Structure 1
Amino acid sequence: MPDHLTIRADGDAEIGVGHLVRCYALAQAWKRQGGRVTLVTKRFPDRLTEWDGLERIELGDVVAEADLVTTLAAGDGWVVVDGYHFDKTYLCAIHAAGRPLLVIDDTIRLDYYPVTALLNPSPGFSKADFVCPPNAATLLGPNYAMLRGEVLQARTPQENPSEQTRILVTMGGSDPRCLTRIVLEGILLLDPQEFKTQVILGPSNPSHREISSLAEGRDDIEILLSPADFPHLASRADIAITAAGSTCWELAYLGTPSLTVTAADNQRPIASAVDRAGAGESLGDGSLLAPRELSDRVVRLAANPDRLARMGSAGQRLVDGSGAERVVSRLQEHPS
């Protein structure tokens, strides 16, 4: 088994940074096994520059996208591709180059996956749902949800309830639909004596000034821009209001109950799965969410500590934190 893993993923204000974050979790697990990792992306978000230990290639600077397949063909080891903009033609070109290919997806996006292995952490899918080469491995469901080491280290026993219910708001790394503002309008209706809210803005969120202006004068609301200790903040929250992306798996592992907001069609399976598992409740399409509806749901949930405790336990049953290690193990054992 070659020790080199090459990851091709992007993150920006339009597509968010979730693809990069989960690929970084895989990179961490790969390196823990003594492997080497090269990350290829169009542009490194500010937070990504702090991720040490990865060899990095920035497209448009060192190599153009059109030349990437040639570059990959000359290398060794697994190639990982994560992103909805990589079409079947692109994947076929990499697969034909002869290196084993892992594609990460969240839906059934293609009518054929030219892969050596396919990873889809969303629940409810089976191998029969995907058309792949006969010998391709399929890694399906939340058991393969890949979490960063920072998240794995942040899980602690729940603290005793505080006088105020602690709310965490996170709409992902970019929030192109400005759902943070919609959620914040609901938060502003909460009693500041009973609730304390931290609003997380990701590294690619362009609405920092607008959000800060909305919360001006409210001591119960704190706006945080891409905090380094996000996993710790999430583990301390009593309720998280989150976009239904990969952050849901982090919150589930941490035992933090969630109210999920759907920001894109590919998030619907995750929102439904978290709801079915009892780890959270779905608020539906974020663009249709009314502020009063949100505040009412938060108040009802906060008034039911037994329900919150059950949701936290259900989340930890859903995601055990070993997903990245399982992926590494499957890649190492699969004939390439």
Structure 2
Amino acid sequence: MDVQGATTSYGCMSAARVAFRVDASLIIGTGHVMRCLTLAGSLRALGCDVFFISREHPGNLTEIVRAAGFPIRILPGCHQEEPPLPHPSTSHLSWLGADWALDAQQTQVALGAGSVDWLVVDHYGLDARWESQLQSSCRHLMVVDDLADRPHSCTVLLDQNLGRSPQDYSSLVPASCRLLVGPQFALLRPDFAARRALGVVRRYGGEAPRILIAMGGVDRDNITTRMLNALAHRGLPEGSTISVVLGVHAPWRRIVEEMAAKMPCATRVLVGVSNMADLVAGSDIAIGAAGGSAWERCCLGLPTLMMVLADNQRDGATALVTAGAALLLDNDFSDGDFAGKLSQILCPEQHAAMREACLQITDGSGADRMARIIADNDV
């Protein structure tokens, strides 16, 4: 096996060594790697030595990890083609691109001689079988999960979703496992917490809205174009603006850009942005997926017209709607449904109530909380 970066040196002996096992692909999306990068940045700020282990899937984020300054050790890509767009396999086991036992063996080789202090695993395709095989290679093992659908063998488990309770994992983890549950632990980059004050004072008085569209890093079903088409027929006030955010591997980029050029109001398409907090803070409403970016929007008090693009987003989306922080748009929405909910979210009174509900959900400091737990070995 070709494992890149295996000779990386590490810092002072007192610094915790932390490895992340996480993947991105056209099927998995980008969110798992991006939230792990956020936690890794907070750990680095505390003096920890951090590196990544990822498989070379189509649509991986290897170069983004390297650009963030973290060593990455590459597991070889799978030989079978991934499911074609836009109908991915519904089995999370297929996301791994290898048998779990082989992945465990390859990960042990990638970890190198000696053990790490923490192995952080963020992967729906892995469970207690894989984790048990890696126990000898780390002092502590932390799982990042959203599903509560399979057993884990770990020291700490993080589920950052609204509406989740520790009881959801009571039969899935060891009795000694520390459960960290809820959006107070959401892994948001520090610039969101830094701009939170802007969300607190945000006001929308019914003037031309600044609209942010972000349907995930890949948007494999091209929901973005559907949203632009729906907005094009809504007769937005003069001066309205639209900002569309796409990931670097978004397969429909050209079509989105062509649609944006035809919009009746100023519309820009931004790819691979590094200033998402600025974009959220500078918008009046969002149209977005019900994934991890929902917590970014909540931190800055941005009301959202939201869609569920994956089954694992459904419970969190329901909780956000119940809390009053978002309105849910069905995947097969009609023109009338879209128009009605857009009118609701643009009503100044409704907008103000949703903004307040958003701000109650998370303060954006979850990554720092998690980093301190890891750096202090607080298990």
Common topology (TM > 0.5): yes
Pairing 1:3–2:16 present: yes
Pairing 1:271–2:317 present: yes
Q: Counterpart of 1:125 in structure 2: which amino acid?
A: R
Structure 1, unmatched stretches of 5+, are none
Pairing 1:55–2:71 present: yes
Pairing 1:209–2:222 present: no
- SS, match of residue 107 in structure 1: coil
- Aligned residue for 1:151? 192
Q: In 2, Cα distance between the equivalents of 1:150 and 1:83? A: 25
- Picking from 92, 109, 120, the partner of 1:80 is 120
Shift of the alpha carbon at 1:313?
2.0
- Aligned residue for 1:185? 229
Q: Which of 320-329 and 191-200 deviates more?
A: 191-200
- SS, match of residue 210 in structure 2: strand
Q: In 1, Cα distance between the equivalents of 2:194 and 2:354? A: 20
Shift of the alpha carbon at 1:105?
0.6
Q: Counterpart of 1:267 in structure 2: which amino acid?
A: Q
Task: Give the conservation status (yes or no) of the 8 Å contact 2:232–2:264.
Answer: no
Gap change, CA 1:162 and 1:298, over 3 Å in 2: closer
Q: In 2, Cα distance between the equivalents of 1:42 and 1:70? A: 13
Q: In 1, Cα distance between the equivalents of 2:203 and 2:352? A: 12
Gap change, CA 1:118 and 1:198, over 3 Å in 2: same
Shift of the alpha carbon at 1:190?
1.9
Shift of the alpha carbon at 1:18?
0.6
Q: In 2, Cα distance between the equivalents of 1:258 and 1:47? A: 31
Shift of the alpha carbon at 1:76?
1.9
Pairing 1:310–2:353 present: yes
Q: In 1, Cα distance between the equivalents of 2:350 and 2:120? A: 39
Task: Give the conservation status (yes or no) of the 8 Å contact 1:5–1:78.
Answer: yes
- Aligned residue for 1:174? 218
After superposition, the C-alpha distances for 1:117-147 in whole angstroms (9 at most, x for unaligned) are 1111113333332121121111111111110
After superposition, the C-alpha distances for 1:269-294 in whole angstroms (9 at most, x for unaligned) are 2111211222111213x3x2234422
Q: Which of 246-255 and 13-22 deviates more?
A: 13-22
Q: In 1, Cα distance between the equivalents of 2:173 and 2:373? A: 17
Q: Which of 94-103 and 236-245 deviates more?
A: 94-103
Task: Give the conservation status (yes or no) of the 8 Å contact 1:13–1:173.
Answer: no
Structure 2, unmatched stretches of 5+, are 1-13, 78-101
Shift of the alpha carbon at 1:326?
1.8
Task: Give the conservation status (yes or no) of the 8 Å contact 2:190–2:364.
Answer: no
- Aligned residue for 2:108? 69
- SS, match of residue 77 in structure 1: strand
Task: Give the conservation status (yes or no) of the 8 Å contact 1:279–1:311.
Answer: yes
Q: In 2, Cα distance between the equivalents of 1:260 and 1:160? A: 19
Percentage identity across paired residues of the two chains: 28
Task: Give the conservation status (yes or no) of the 8 Å contact 1:21–1:148.
Answer: no
Q: Counterpart of 1:22 in structure 2: which amino acid?
A: R
Pairing 1:238–2:281 present: no
Q: Which of 323-332 and 182-191 deviates more?
A: 323-332
Q: Counterpart of 1:306 in structure 2: which amino acid?
A: E
Shift of the alpha carbon at 1:219?
4.9
After superposition, the C-alpha distances for 1:215-269 in whole angstroms (9 at most, x for unaligned) are 3332512222223322211111111011000000000001111111000110012
Task: Give the conservation status (yes or no) of the 8 Å contact 2:204–2:348.
Answer: no
- SS, match of residue 256 in structure 2: helix
> Over the residues paired in the alignment, what is the CA RMSD in angstroms?
2.4
Shift of the alpha carbon at 1:87?
3.5
Task: Give the conservation status (yes or no) of the 8 Å contact 2:324–2:353.
Answer: yes
Q: Counterpart of 1:35 in structure 2: which amino acid?
A: C
Gap change, CA 1:161 and 1:225, over 3 Å in 2: farther
Task: Give the conservation status (yes or no) of the 8 Å contact 2:303–2:358.
Answer: yes
Gap change, CA 1:161 and 1:4, over 3 Å in 2: farther
Task: Give the conservation status (yes or no) of the 8 Å contact 1:10–1:19.
Answer: yes
Gap change, CA 1:4 and 1:49, over 3 Å in 2: closer
- Picking from 233, 238, 245, the partner of 1:200 is 245
Please, what TM-score do these two structures have when normalized by structure 1?
A: 0.90
